[in-house]
């Protein structure tokens, strides 16, 4: 399992964009998106039980 962190919303958008081609190709299935204050965690599955990627986005809180 790998974790990628983004300090800003723009960095998080870039990380998500990096996954888009695989999402379109059907290679990645989104398991869950958890909003636990900070960070926001996006869990995706590469359709392989041994290769789940977890991306943690440390986004600034909006007050």
Task: Output the pLDDT for position 5.
Answer: 53
Mean pLDDT of 50-58: 47
Pairing of strands 52-57, 3-6: parallel
Task: Output the pLDDT for position 22.
Answer: 54
Q: Is the peptide bond before 39 cis (omega within 30 degrees of 0)?
A: yes
* Residue 63 in this model has a pLDDT that exceeds 50: no
Task: Output the pLDDT for position 25.
Answer: 53
**Dist. CA 41–CA 25, nearest whole Å:** 22
Task: Output the pLDDT for position 58.
Answer: 45
The residues facing 53 across adjacent strands are 44
pLDDT tens string 8-47: 566 666 766 666 655 555 554 444 444 444 444 555 444 5
């Amino acid at each position: 399992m790998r974790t990628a962190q983004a300090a800003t919303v723009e960095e998080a958008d870039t990380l998500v964009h990096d996954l888009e081609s695989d999402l379109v190709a059907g290679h990645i299935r989104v398991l869950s998106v958890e909003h636990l204050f900070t960070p926001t965690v996006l869990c995706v599955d590469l359709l392989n039980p041994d290769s789940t990627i977890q991306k943690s986005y440390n986004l600034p809180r909006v007050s």
